[in-house]
Amino acid sequence: MNIKYGPLFEGFSFSNGIQLKNRIVMAPMTNFSSNPDGTVTEAEVKYYARRAGGVGMVITACTYVTRNGMGFHGEFGGDTDSLIPSLRQLASAIKEQGAKAILQIFHGGRQVPPELVPNGDVVSASAVPAEGAGKPIPRELSEKEIESIIHDFGETTRRAIEAGYDGVEIHGANGYLLQQFFSPNSNRREDRWGGSLEKRLAFPMAVVDEVTRVVEAHAKEPFIVGYRFSPEEPETPGITMADTLVLIDALAEKNLNYLHVSLQDFWSTPRRGVEDTRSRIEIIQERVGNRVPVIGVGSIYTADDSLKAIQTGVPLIALARELIIDPDWVQKVEQGREDEIVTKIDKNKQAELVLPDPLWQAIINSPGWFPGVE
């Protein structure tokens, strides 16, 4: 290994004692490849196993905690105990390769396709549709339903523990239900779940509290709890960088094991809310990095990209598209073969890359999503 990349391969210890062999994480990515009944497919398991050999930790694609939270075709579920064997199959495949397995848990809220949820019943914090043509007007959740969904996050966490995962990541990013409650765009409530910034925080914080309560009650050994968030929204009104600083301050008080920033570009800068020319991740790291580890992500392809990112002080770097393009990325850097890293998708190598058909079709039919697909 080239000695300059040494910082990427230092071990990392979470506050609960769980150790990672290096600083590289596989980011959660939707793959559209599960069975209609919510179980994982063999192709999906092989896809994860192919990528779990080098990284220190794998965060799975999101799994729905409530049936009406299913956000994608071909998404695997965690909403019933009958799915524990399926969840276990995936956790085992990841851990057998030497990586820690983290189950990302979520509810899609107003972002779910109506045809995927019972009776087409799309729900959210308020009856405000997402921006864009043809988006359904969601039904505002009742107080009782909110409490039920909080409970569901806890129950899926219990299933993750029973299935052998090393942790869960609460998905509060990318416009899904937790973010919908935090956002002034989608949350127009005037009860204890909305209104002021502090009240818009109530639902995400209640989910965090329930998940950590379940971990304390059911986990017999250390178990990771992380939280993913998107720092800003383009909509007006919408989440600003100033709002996010309040969010992460609150999360940093919750004894979480990490915060995971969701960004397309690691070096993107704030739109509004703070007068600061640094990247969002640098601002976030300065604000809470001494209280809770931060995972950075976004358009990191080469070894030098990763080194530059980790030199900001962020302790963990997540790779998303790059691990689909080159599953051997970590091993190549570790073996001093960083010049052999592939940074554009090869349209002739689906089998070699071990990519399930639904994911492959999505990649090659979505120009601009992956480098190399025009």
Catalytic residue among 64, 176, 227, 258: 176
The predicted structure's pLDDT at residue 374: 78
Q: Please report where in the chains the tokens 């998107």 appear, as a residue.
A: 230
Architecture of domain 3-364: Alpha-Beta Barrel (3.20)
Regions of the chain with pLDDT less than 70: none
Q: Please report, for the chain, the start and end positions of each structural domain, with discontinuous segments joined by +.
A: 3-364
Q: What type of residue sits at position 11?
A: G
- 176 flagged as catalytic: yes
The predicted structure's pLDDT at residue 373: 87
Give per-residue pLDDT as tens, 317-340.
999 999 999 999 999 999 999 999
How many contiguous H segments (helices) and E segments (strands) does the chain have? 13, 12
Q: What percent of the chain has pLDDT over 90?
A: 98
Radius of gyration of the chain (CA): 19
- Does residue 25 sit in helix, strand or coil? strand
Q: Are 184 and 119 in contact (CB under 8 A)?
A: no
Q: Please report where in the chains the tokens 């799975």 appear, as a residue.
A: 60
- Please state the length of the chain: 374
| C-beta atoms surrounding 40 within 10 Å | 26
Q: Please report where in the chains the tokens 């890359």 appear, as a residue.
A: 353
CA distances from 228 to 74, 323, 324 (A): 22, 19, 21
Q: Are 206 and 135 in contact (CB under 8 A)?
A: no
The predicted structure's pLDDT at residue 360: 97
Q: Which phi and psi angles does 171 have, rounded to 5°?
A: -90, 95
* Side-chain-facing half-sphere of 63: CA atoms under 13 Å: 32
Query: What own/partner pairs with CB < 8 Å and gap ≥ 24 does 45-50 have?
Result: 45/89, 45/90, 45/93, 46/93, 46/354, 47/354, 47/355, 47/356, 47/359, 48/90, 48/93, 48/94, 49/93, 49/94, 49/96, 49/97, 50/327, 50/353, 50/354
Q: With 0-12 CB in 10 A as exposed, 13-18 as middle and 19+ as buried, what is 209?
A: middle
* C-alpha 345: how far from chain center: 22
